[in-house]
Structure 1
Amino acid sequence: MARSEGGRGNGLARDSGEDQILLRTVPCKGFRFVGEVSEVREASLSEASPAEASAAALDADKPSIAVMPFQNLSGDPGQAYFADGVVEEIITALSRVRWLFVIARNSSFTYRDRNVDLEQVGRELGVRYVLEGSLRKAGDLVRITGQLIEASSGAHLWAERFEGHLEDIFALQDEIAASVVGAIAPQVELAEIERAKRNPTRCSTAYDCYLRGLAHLHRGDREAIGEAITLFKRTIEIDVQSASAHAMAAWCYLWRKVNGWTLDADKEAAEGLRMAQRAVELGRDDAVALTRGGHALAHFTGDLDTGIALLDRAIFLNPNLASAWFLGGFLKTWHGECESAIEHFERAMRLSPVDPELYRMQAGIAMAHLFAGRIETASAWAERSYSNLPSFLMVVALIASTRALSGRQEDAKRAMEEVKRLDSSLRISELQDWLPISRPEHLAVFADGLRKAGLAE
Structure 2
Amino acid sequence: MRIRLLGGLEVTSADGQPVRFATRKSALLFAALVLAGRRGHSRERLCEGFWPGRGDTQSRNSLRQALAEIRRWFPAAGNAAISIDGDQETVALTAGPDEADVWLFERKLADGGTANLAFAADLYRGDVLAGEVIPDGLDEWFGPYQERYRQKAQQLVERLSLAKPEAGSADEAACERLAERLLASDPAAEPAHRALMRIYAVRGHENAALRQFETCRALLKKHLGVEPEAQTNALAASLHSRDRHHQAQSAHDTAQPLQPVSIPARPHDQPSVAVMAFDNLGGAEDEYFADGVVEEITAALSRIRDFFVIARQSAFTYKGRFVDVREVGRELGVNYVVEGTVRRGGDRLRISVQLVDAETRAQLWSERYEGATEDVFEFQDRIAAQVAGAIHPAIRGAEIELARRKPPTSLRAYDFVMRAYPNIWGRRKDTNEQAIELLKKAIAVDPAYGRAHALLAWCHASNASYLWAEKPQSELEKARAAVDAAGSIGDDPTALAAAGSALSMCGDQERAATFIEQALKLDPNNAWAWARHGWIAIYKDEAAQAPERFQRAMTLSPMDPFAFAMRLGMATAMAKTGSLPQAVAIAREVIATYPDIIMSYRYLTAWSAMSGDLETARWAAQKLLTAQPNFTIERYRSLPFFTHMSEWADRVVEALKLAGLPER
Distance in 2 of aligned mates of 1:194 and 1:401: 39
TM-superposed CA distance for 1:218, in Å, is 4.0
1:254 counterpart SS class:
helix
**Equivalent residue for 2:528?**
323
**Separation (CA, whole Å) in 2 of partners of 1:262 and 1:330:** 22
Matching residue of 1:33: none
* 2:503 paired with 1:291: no
Q: 2:261 corresponds to which residue?
A: 52
Identity %: 38
- Equivalent residue of 2:638, what SS? helix
Query: Which amino acid in structure 1 is aligned with residue 528 of structure 2?
Result: S
Task: Say if 1:50 and 1:307 are closer, same or farther in 2 by CA, change over 3 A.
Answer: farther
**Equivalent residue number for residue 253 of structure 1:** 460
Instruction: Point out where structure 1 has 5 or more consecutive residues left out of the alignment.
Output: 1-48
Match of 2:399 in 1: 192
2:303 is aligned with 1:96: yes
Letter in 1 for 2:414: Y
CA separation of 1:435/1:138 partners in 2, compared to 1, >3 Å: closer, same or farther?
farther
Aligned-residue offset at 1:277: 2.4
The 5 Å alignment of 1:61-100 reads 61-74=269-282, 76-100=283-307
Determine if contact 1:60/1:101 at 8 Å carries over to the other structure. no
Structure 1 partner of 2:565: 360
Identify the range of structure 1 (98-107 vs 262-271) with the bigger mean alpha-carbon deviation.
262-271
Query: Which of 345, 349, 357 is residue 550 of structure 2 equivalent to?
Result: 345
Distance in structure 2 (CA, Å) of the matches to 1:264 and 1:203: 36
Identify which of 308, 319, 332 aligns with 2:537. 332
Residue 306 of structure 1 corresponds to: 511
Q: 1:277 touches 1:293 (CA, 8 Å); kept in 2?
A: no
Equivalent-residue separation in structure 1 for 2:260 and 2:309 (angstroms): 15
Match of 2:241 in 1: none
Alpha-carbon distance in structure 2 between the residues aligned to 1:388 and 1:234: 33
Distance, in Å, in 1 between the alignment partners of 2:633 and 2:468 is: 18
CA distance in 2, matches of 1:218, 1:93: 25
In 2: Cα distance, 1:383 partner to 1:120 partner: 50
- What does residue 214 of structure 2 align with? none
Deviation at residue 187 of structure 1 after TM alignment = 0.8
Q: Contact 1:362–1:384 at 8 Å: present in 2 too?
A: no
Q: 2:192 corresponds to which residue? A: none
Alignment of 1:452 onto 2:452? no
Q: TM-score, normalised by structure 1?
A: 0.84
- Supply the AA of the counterpart residue of 1:384: E
Output one character per residue of 1:218-251: Cα deviation in whole Å (capped at 9) or x when no partner.
Answer: 4731111111011111111111111111110010
Q: Is the 8 A contact 1:63 1:192 kept in 2?
A: yes
TM score, norm. by length of structure 2: 0.58
1:141-160 alignment runs, 5 A limit: 141-160=348-367
Aligned counterpart for 2:621 among listed residues 408, 412, 416: 416
State the distance in 2 between where 1:219 and 1:388 align. Answer: 15
Q: Structure 2 vs 1, CA of residues 153 and 430 (structure 1 numbering), >3 Å: closer, same or farther?
A: same
One-letter amino acid of the structure 2 residue matched with residue 231 of structure 1: L
The C-alpha deviation readout for 1:277-306, integer Å capped at 9, x for no partner, is 233x32123211211112212322x22122
Residues 267 and 434 of structure 1: is their aligned pair in 2 closer, same or farther, counting only changes over 3 Å? Answer: closer
Q: Distance in 1 between matches of 2:588 and 2:521?
A: 32
Cα deviation, residue 454, structure 1? 1.6
Tell me the secondary structure at the aligned position of residue 133 of structure 1: strand
Give distance in 1, aligned partners of 2:571 and 2:645: 17
| Aligned counterparts of 1:411 and 1:123: Cα–Cα separation in 2 | 59
Closer, same or farther in 2 for the Cα pair 1:171/1:93, shift >3 Å?
Answer: same
1:127 correspondence with 2:334 = yes
RMSD: 2.0
1:203 CA drift (Å): 6.2
Return 62-71 or 430-439, whichever deviates more: 430-439
- Corresponding position of 1:169: 376
Give CA-to-partner distance per residue, 1:158-182, whole Å, 9 cap, x none: 1111223333322221111000001
**C-alpha contact (below 8 Å) 1:332/1:341 kept by paired residues:** yes
Contact 1:57 1:125 in 2 (8 A): no
SS at match of 2:408: coil
1:60 to 1:441, Cα distance in 2 relative to 1, 3 A: closer
Q: Is 1:384–2:582 an aligned residue pair?
A: no
Q: What is the deviation of 1:50?
A: 6.8
The one of 228, 240, 258 aligned to 2:447: 240
Change (3 A) 1:162 1:339: farther
Task: Indicate how the Cα distance of structure 1 residues 262 and 202 shifts in structure 2: closer, same or farther if over 3 A, else same.
Answer: farther
Shift of 1:361: 1.0
The answer to whether residue 610 in structure 2 is matched with residue 405 in structure 1 is yes
Matched residue count? 405
- Tell me, yes or no, if structure 1 residue 441 matches structure 2 residue 647: yes
One-letter amino acid of the counterpart of residue 289, structure 2:
F
Cα deviation code 1:236-277 (max 9, x no counterpart): 111111111111001001111122111443432221110022
| Structure 2: stretches of 5+ with no match in the other structure | 1-257
**How far did residue 51 of structure 1 move?**
4.1
Structure 1 window deviating more from structure 2 (313-322 vs 397-406): it is 397-406
Instruction: Check conservation: 1:72, 1:79, Cα contact below 8 A.
Output: yes
- Relative distance call for 1:60 and 1:401 in structure 2 (3 A) is closer
CA 1:270–1:290 in 2, change beyond 3 Å: closer, same or farther?
same
CA offset at residue 149 of structure 1?
0.9
What CA distance in whole angstroms lies between the structure 2 residues aligned with 1:58 and 1:117? 24
Q: What CA deviation, in whole Å up to 9, does each residue of 1:62-95 have, x standing for no partner?
A: 1111111111112x21111111111111111111
Asked if 2 retains the 8 angstrom alpha-carbon contact of 1:308 and 1:332, the reply is: no
Q: Distance in 2 between matches of 1:168 and 1:379?
A: 39
Tell me how far apart the structure 2 counterparts of residues 286 and 299 of structure 1 sit (CA, whole Å): 20
Q: 1:426 to 1:58 in 2, by over 3 A?
A: closer
Whole-Å Cα distance in 1 between the matches of residues 346 and 640 of structure 2?
52
Report the 3-state secondary structure (helix = DSSP H, G, I; strand = E; otherwise coil) of the residue aligned with 1:424: coil
Tell me the residue number matched to 2:433.
226
> SS state of the match for residue 455, structure 1?
coil
Cα distance in 1 for partners of 2:639, 2:629 equals 14
Kept after mapping to 2: 8 A contact 1:349/1:361 = yes
1:375 to 2:559 alignment: no
